[in-house]
Amino acid sequence: MSIAFVHWTDPSGRLHLAGTLIEVGRVGLQRFEYHPDWVRAGGFELGEGLPVGRGPLLPPGGATEFGLFADAAPDAWGRRVLSRKLVPPPRTATAFLLAAADATRQGALRFSEDADGQNLLSDGGAVPKSTVHDLYREVRDFQADRATGGDFARLLRAGTSQGGFRPKAVVADEAGALWIAKFPSETDTYDVETSEAAALHIAREAGLDVPTFRHLRVDPDRAILLVKRFDRTEGGRVGYQSLRTAARLGPNDAIDYQTAARVSGSLCGTAGRHAVVAAAALNIAIHNIDDHSRNVGFTQRADGAWTPAPLFDVVPYPRVGVGTPLAWGTERTVGQLLELDWGVPAREVAAVVRRVNEQAARLYEVAHDVYGMDPEASENAERVRSAAARG
């Protein structure tokens, strides 16, 4: 049985002891209990499935881990890096959670060996943004298994906390702000990072909320995308939970956009519903089919209230494919989006769709003219995008 103290970091950087996380049994079942001081002070719910009260809590729905802790933990890529870094490698979800670099962990949660937070768990952190090209060389070698562990010093420091399957790490700029560096994969068949940069560009032009980003060309067919972390303030952190957690979905459960809008609306009101409509419109218009429930999220204010997170992981796909449906049993088209009830005035839905469509028509023009995508590749991808958008 392993025990860790759980702290919530406010936007000023102050630690607040929230409770204890215990892992029991061979399957790694998590058990969480709020600290009496958090309860007495009227502390808020850290995330869905963790209602404030006295006594231990178990993950909802028969799961072995809480969604909020899964959101703060590394996913496939971070686990792969940690499994190379640590001997023996972590074996349970909680072990991976506690081994990830504290400095770069997603959200506001931090974990320590003591109640006062003096001995925060895990080492590692960001590397300088100026070294991102050296970091990319390590990523390439790591993917190809071309070197021993000592040659991956930057990656083993900066790549342990990240979610998703694709290679990434955290870098810090001259002011200390954190950025996610997203790298090409050795198995890529198109310029993924350039496609994502163009998608964020046109989403910003359409008035959608996107994080600050930078695009670095590394060769004619590959690029690095730097995305500024939106879960950090100048001196502190911002809480985060995914749509998967908010909707209490299991690891393999799917969701449709109308359900997502209801969940987001219950957390964030009308702004939450608007955010889901905008995301749906964008993903249809750019043909993003990787629009699953971990690629939508919510940030937490200092008072515990939730707001829609900026858009992230919006990656156009240049071939035929199927993404998250608008509603079960319906087509995924702009026309269908306009016909469904989203809980907001139809004219507002139409206005968002119109702005997004106008900008999405320029997606691969922007990819080529601004970010240097190969002209033939951009032309071919545009044919797929426009056909998918029309349905």
Q: Which residue has the tokens 């002070």?
A: 41
Q: Cα-flanking dihedrals φ and ψ of residue 90, to 5°?
A: -60, 150
Instruction: Note the pLDDT of residue 19.
Output: 98
Instruction: Note the pLDDT of residue 69.
Output: 97
Instruction: Note the pLDDT of residue 126.
Output: 97
Across the range 347-357, mean pLDDT stands at 97
Reported confidence tier of residue 147, pLDDT bands at 50, 70, 90: low
94, pLDDT greater than 60:
yes
Reported confidence tier of residue 196, pLDDT bands at 50, 70, 90: very high
CA distance 138 to 181: 13
Residues 29-85: pLDDT tens digits?
Answer: 999 999 999 999 999 999 999 999 999 999 998 899 999 999 999 999 999 999 999
Tokens of 60: 């909802």
SS3 at position 313: coil
Across the range 364-379, mean pLDDT stands at 97
**How do the residues of the chain divide into helix, strand and coil, expressed in percent and rounded to 5?**
40, 20, 45
Share of the chain above pLDDT 70, in %: 98
Q: Strand ranges (DSSP E) for 247-366?
A: 297-300, 306-308
Reported confidence tier of residue 146, pLDDT bands at 50, 70, 90: confident
Q: Nearest CA to 47 among 215, 246, 296?
A: 246
CA distances from 108 to 92, 174, 295 (A): 22, 22, 18
**Between 329 and 229, residue with greater pLDDT:** 229
Instruction: Note the pLDDT of residue 251.
Output: 79
Instruction: Confirm if 178 and 171 have CB atoms less than 8 A apart.
Output: yes
Instruction: Note the pLDDT of residue 149.
Output: 52
Q: Nearest CA to 201 among 227, 174, 168?
A: 227
Residue 88: is the preceding peptide bond cis (ω within 30°)? Answer: yes
CA distance 226 to 202: 17
CA distance 253 to 97: 22
Average pLDDT, the chain: 95
Neighbours of 17 (CB within 10 A): 20
Reported confidence tier of residue 1, pLDDT bands at 50, 70, 90: low
Which DSSP state fits 149? G
Helix (H) or strand (E) run with residue 97 in it: helix 93-99
Instruction: Note the pLDDT of residue 150.
Output: 58
Let me know if 356 is exposed, middle or buried by CB neighbors in 10 A (0-12, 13-18, 19+). Answer: buried
Instruction: Note the pLDDT of residue 30.
Output: 97
